[in-house]
Structure formats: structure tokens, C-alpha cells
Amino acid sequence: MNAIVEENKVKFSVKVAYNGVPREIEVKTEERIEHVLKAAIAAFGNPPNPHTLALFTTDGRELADAQTVEEAGLKPGQELILRTSTVKGGQ
């Protein structure tokens, strides 16, 4: 849960669960959620229909791909859920 500061950029881990299985993903405050999502999908071995997946907070809020980790308000050790997007699912 320790945050590492690297050239004014903070790097830390969040926990992502997919189908009840947790994985830790390292994130940087300035990177976009889209990048975190790709890393999460890869951590679970590229599950079926990855283009329909999104990251959600434990209270059900879907994180926007264009937001940065900082803008999304993610904190070290925060738990996220990887599941089908309410927006992307219809594509």
C-alpha cells in the first residue's frame, strides 16, 4: 500500500477483481484509466470480449477511460472490479 514518488509522479498498486479473483495492478497518477484497464485485462489472461469490459469502484461507479488515475480519485490499495461496461456492452 506504499506509494512511490518518481520524478513527481506517484506510482502505487490497486487491487482488481474479475469473477471473484483478485490481482494487483501497478498504476501511476498521470496515466489514463484506459491504460489501467488494458493492464487489468492482460493480468487476467485476456478474458472473452475484452472490448466490453470496464473498471468499476466497489460502490458501482464506472471509471471513464479518458480520466487519469488521479482524476478518478484512485488511492493505494483501492479495490476495483473488472466487469462488463454499462456503456460499452451495447457496441
CA 30 to each of CA 5, 8, 51, 55: distance values in angstroms, whole numbers, following the listed order: 12, 10, 23, 17
- Tell me the domain boundaries of the chain: 4-90
Which pTM does this prediction carry? 0.86
Q: State pLDDT tens for residues 19-61.
A: 999 999 999 999 999 999 999 999 999 898 999 999 999 999 9
The CATH code of the domain at 4-90 is 3.10.20.90
Q: State pLDDT tens for residues 57-86.
A: 999 999 999 999 999 999 999 999 999 997
Of 37, 27, 21, nearest to 70 (Cα)? 27
CA 60, CA 50: separation in Å to the nearest integer?
19
CA 27, CA 90: separation in Å to the nearest integer?
28
Going by DSSP bridges, is the β-strand pair 79-84/53-57 parallel, antiparallel, or unpaired?
antiparallel
